[in-house]
Amino acid sequence: MKQYPREFIRKLEHGDKVSQKQLFEQLYASMFRVCQRYIVKTDEAEDCVMKGFMNAFQHIGQLNYQGEESLFKWLRKIMVNECLTELRKKHNFYMIPEEQLPEVLIEADVWNKIEVEDLNNLVLRLPTGYRTVFSLFVVEGYAHKEIATMLGITESTSKSQLLKAKSKLKIMITQNQLAYGTIGK
């Protein structure tokens, strides 16, 4: 997680172009990765990153500085919100299909063994609803109540979507022979 001192944030507050460009270049890749977990298409994810940076530069005064990681976390939240705004335009989260998934038995340390890029690619292959709830809960650390509010769904829907997302991930891991496992009925 990138760290930025208070002085750097002051420069951003004063609209310093050099600092803005520096931040943009340093964090573009990270923010693109964040956005792509919600919006898979590259060009749409790019748009969200650009909107997120613009929003951040315009409202930098609203950043509550609590340490050198504050800017990174704040910018990440902005990106997630941009993505959710885009998703809400196209996706109705009440329509997430509740498919019946089989039980999956998978070796315990699969998450440690799996490569980061492989894991990311599997997450991107999840259905939109599963992927969104999984990313918000596991990666961003939101509670189910918060996710329910953000997506306009019930808390129980959020929980069930998370369970199904994990099951689906395990199935994909097994099917792709990324780890040893058995898929039951």
Which residues contribute to the site for other proteins (CB under 8 A)?
1, 17, 20-21, 24-25, 28-30, 32-33, 36-37, 42, 46, 50, 53-54, 57-58, 111-112, 114, 116-117, 119-120, 123, 137-139, 141
Shortest reach from residue 30's CB to other proteins, in Å: 4
Shortest reach from residue 59's CB to other proteins, in Å: 12
Shortest reach from residue 137's CB to other proteins, in Å: 8
Shorter beta-carbon distance to other proteins: residue 63 or 114: 114
Shorter beta-carbon distance to other proteins: residue 15 or 152: 15
Shorter beta-carbon distance to other proteins: residue 22 or 81: 22
Shorter beta-carbon distance to other proteins: residue 8 or 24: 24
> What is the DSSP code string of the chain?
-----HHHHHHHHTT-HHHHHHHHHHHHHHHHHHHHHH--SHHHHHHHHHHHHHHHHHTGGG----STTHHHHHHHHHHHHHHHHHHHHH--GGG--------EEE-TTHHHHS-HHHHHHHHHTS-HHHHHHHIIIIIS---HHHHHHHHT--HHHHHHHHHHHHHHHHHHHHHTTSS-EEE--
